[in-house]
Amino acid sequence: MTHTSAPNPAAMPQDAMVVAREELLDLAPDDALARLHAWFAERGEPTYRAAQVFARLWLKPVATFDEMTEIPARLRAALHEHFSIRSLALSAQQLSKDGTEKFLFRLDDGQLIETVAIPEDDRLTLCISSQAGCALQCRFCATGAMGFQRNLRPSEIAGQVRQLRMLSPARMATNIVFMGMGEPMMNWSAVDVTLSLLNDARALGIGARHITISTVGVLPGIVALGERPEQFRLAISIHAPTDALRGSLMPVNVKYPLSEVIAAAATFDRRVTFEYVLLGGVNDQIEHASQLAALARECRAFVNLIPLHPGGSMGFHPSPASTSAAFARLLRARGVETAVRRSRGLDISAACGQLRTERLGRRLPVAPDDHGEVDEA
């Protein structure tokens, strides 16, 4: 999480010395309820008020305390003085002809983050962001090209799901994938809280098996996720079947080599998915498919083959359909369960980071190590 030095009260104007309000949406469900119970008890109010307020944070979300009309006006005013409930400002919205929607949210400090809603039959999958920008600089990724700005808070990660529930009509997610902007395992403390908010029946109530965390292979995060009791899904961005090729595409491979990533996947107590973006002429040849099949069999992984989105291709080209089909056939012939993901939102800026870059331009990146931003587990 972002670390900043505390302001000097003596140097602040008198009217600026206001006690910061506590952000309820940054708290895990048990912590938020405990805080509200204590607050109401201090005022001699009945404890059921805490459950009433909490229900309006996530289950039936509202933008302000004033909208909690079941709470007396005097208590709504007092809540506003002591607490905040952060809303994300919708800056842009795009609708694809295939039904995919992309949302650009502006945060309090002017940063922009993206969320994509993907309908499929009776499901609605939200692809959510965990960081503003990304420090990993994968060569084929538009988010990596913009550089890292900062980690998101739980209120800004789970808040994307909350905000879409408050739209008219509401977008009610059935599935969540952490495949938007950023590397979730490098913002673990916030993602850890967010997983509880997403899954808890008192909050957003999405089943753990319908929540997937995607990582390039940040090993401490994989271990931390495996230690949670819920059946959250793990996806690992492989994108190349050898260290030499993967290192040329993904600089993080130096810190977390492919062998160590595969070993972590093999010990994870749930089935793992390999994400593999097919780059024309780069990682889509028959020998690459054979090597990938061997890795997948080693840890019983499911392989998701992903067509490169041309909008954020960073100079790379999608593999031809015939090449992708041959790649998938070889994996299946080697006993590896494989799916070829269908490209969505091709007529809008649906490549991750593309819409943000269009609106903000390329801001100078922040060095995460210098600013205490990397928070693995």
What amino acid occupies position 232?
F
The predicted pLDDT at position 302 comes to 97
Handedness of CA 8, 9, 14, 20 (dihedral sign): positive
Domain 9-84 indexed as CATH 1.10.150.530: yes
The β-bridge relationship of strands 131-133 and 148-151 is antiparallel
Smallest CA-to-CA distance from 133 within 144, 141, 122 is with: 144
The predicted pLDDT at position 375 comes to 52
The predicted pLDDT at position 137 comes to 86
Per-residue buried b or exposed e for 286-322, using 16+ beta carbons within 10 Å of the residue's own CB: eebbebbbebbeebebebbbbbbbebbbeebebbeee
What are the angstrom distances between the C-alpha of 313 and each of 121, 166, 327?
Answer: 28, 33, 20
* Regions in the chain scoring below 70 on pLDDT: 1-19, 311-314, 346-377
| Catalytic residue chosen out of the listed positions 134, 156, 352, 373 | 352
The predicted pLDDT at position 366 comes to 54
Domain ranges of the chain: 9-84, 89-360
φ/ψ of residue 355, rounded to 5: -65, -40
Asked if 299 and 238 count as a contact pair (C-beta separation under 8 A), the reply is no
Instruction: Give pTM, 2 decimals.
Output: 0.88
Q: Is 134 a catalytic residue?
A: no
Domain 89-360 indexed as CATH 3.90.550.10: no
Place of tokens 């494989």: 338
pLDDT tens-digit map of 196-242? 999 999 999 999 999 999 999 999 999 999 999 999 999 999 999 99
| Catalytic residue chosen out of the listed positions 101, 114, 156, 373 | 114
Asked if 96 and 347 count as a contact pair (C-beta separation under 8 A), the reply is yes
The predicted pLDDT at position 330 comes to 98
DSSP 67-125: G-TTS-HHHHHHHHHHEE----EEEEEEE-TTS-EEEEEE-TTS-EEEEEEEEETTEEE
The predicted pLDDT at position 1 comes to 43
The predicted pLDDT at position 2 comes to 42
Smallest CA-to-CA distance from 338 within 301, 363, 364, 308 is with: 301
Q: Is 352 a catalytic residue?
A: yes
The predicted pLDDT at position 140 comes to 86
Residue 180, token pair as written in the block? 């938007």
Q: Quick one: 365 exposed, middle or buried, by C-beta within 10 A (0-12, 13-18, 19+)?
A: middle
Q: Which residues contact 44 (CB under 8 A, 6 or more apart)?
A: none
The predicted pLDDT at position 313 comes to 58
